[in-house]
Amino acid sequence: MDIEKLLELEDRIGVRFKNHDLLLQALTHRSYINENTHWHLDHNERLEFLGDAVLELVVTEYLYNTYPNPEGELTNWRAALVNSVMLAKVSAKFDLNDYILLSRGEARDTGRARQYILANAIEAVIGAIYLDQGYAATDGFIKKFVMTELHEVLESGSYKDYKSLFQEKAQDIAGVTPTYEVIKEWGPDHAKNFQIGVYLEKELIGEGSGPSKQDAQQAAAENALKNRGW
């Protein structure tokens, strides 16, 4: 990727990097290195690890300082803001997909696996901004692109923890605690997908899929609530 394209992305995100290699590394998916063995940078997974923690801290700090709500509600709001579906949506605000370095095979896949790659990449970009610019710049980036989604999250109710709600209903109405089992999993290690079923005793009540077991369980619980009319 040439410097002009990196500068273009910097203009879109509103951050001018001192070390452009940090941003370039944030855009480098593991699959790209497997195909381009002489690439001079590491893949983005360490930056993703850092960015995930910084993102959670900024969102937590903002919610804590802005809303007097109890911890459980704030936890659900935060989860709705930092999950892979939301982060993939946020990445579209500056067309991050156009800048990620992928193998030819990964570049052809535009399904749920791509959503997961985009979510990881935005966390890596956050990690890169933090290392290059410090906390204040990272805080500004997250508030500009992520926290602006909070109003819609609260309006739509997408923060609801379907798994907890289904457990509550199942125990109150059926006297049974739900269990979750992986029905199927597919994809490479760095982009796994899971299909999970939720059961009341041995009866399959709902199914859901997602790029993590947690996401798939939430989808299964939501499906079960609809199936039971709860």
pLDDT band at 13 (very low <50, low <70, confident <90, very high): very high
Residue 12 half-sphere exposure toward CB, CA atoms < 13 A: 17
The rounded mean pLDDT for the chain is 93
Do 32 and 124 reside in the same domain of the chain?
yes
73: Cα separation from own chain's centroid:
19
Do 140 and 175 reside in the same domain of the chain?
no
Binding residues: 48, 120, 123
Contact criterion met (CB below 8 Å) for 206 and 197? yes
Which of 156, 181, 208 delimits the end of a domain?
156
Active-site positions read 52, 123
Do 106 and 195 reside in the same domain of the chain?
no
Do 95 and 25 reside in the same domain of the chain?
yes
Contact criterion met (CB below 8 Å) for 8 and 136? no
Nearest to 227 by CA among 209, 204, 194, 202: 204
Do 46 and 126 reside in the same domain of the chain?
yes
SS3 173: helix
Q: Does the pLDDT at position 162 exceed 90?
A: no
Which of 156, 178, 202 delimits the end of a domain?
156
Q: What is the mean pLDDT of residues 78-103?
A: 94
Query: What is the domain-level CATH number for residue 170?
Result: 3.30.160.20
- Classify residue 103 by burial, with Cβ atoms within 10 Å: 0-12, 13-18, 19+: middle
Do 120 and 12 reside in the same domain of the chain?
yes
SS3 101: strand
Binding residues for Mg(2+): 48, 120, 123
Q: For residue 199, give the H/E element and its range.
A: strand 193-200
Query: What is the domain-level CATH number for residue 84?
Result: 1.10.1520.10
Beta bridge partners of 181: 197
Greatest mean pLDDT range, 70-74, 92-96, 172-176, 211-215: 92-96
**Full DSSP string of 176-209:** ---EEEEEEEES-GGG-EEEEEEEETTEEEEEEE
Task: Kindly report the pTM of this predicted structure.
Answer: 0.76
Nearest to 122 by CA among 101, 96, 103, 143: 96
CA 101/CA 99 separation, integer angstroms: 6
Do 95 and 192 reside in the same domain of the chain?
no
Do 120 and 37 reside in the same domain of the chain?
yes
Residue 197, domain extent: 162-228
Do 91 and 68 reside in the same domain of the chain?
yes
Q: Which two tokens stand for residue 142?
A: 């997250």
Higher-pLDDT residue of 104 and 50 is 50
Q: How far is CA 193 from CA 119, 160, 213, in A?
A: 14, 22, 8
pLDDT band at 15 (very low <50, low <70, confident <90, very high): very high
Domain count, the chain: 2
Q: Does the pLDDT at position 52 exceed 90?
A: yes
Do 30 and 117 reside in the same domain of the chain?
yes
Which of 135, 156, 177 delimits the end of a domain?
156
Q: Does the pLDDT at position 161 exceed 80?
A: no
Do 171 and 122 reside in the same domain of the chain?
no
Do 122 and 169 reside in the same domain of the chain?
no
Q: What is the mean pLDDT of residues 200-212?
A: 93
pLDDT for 110: 73
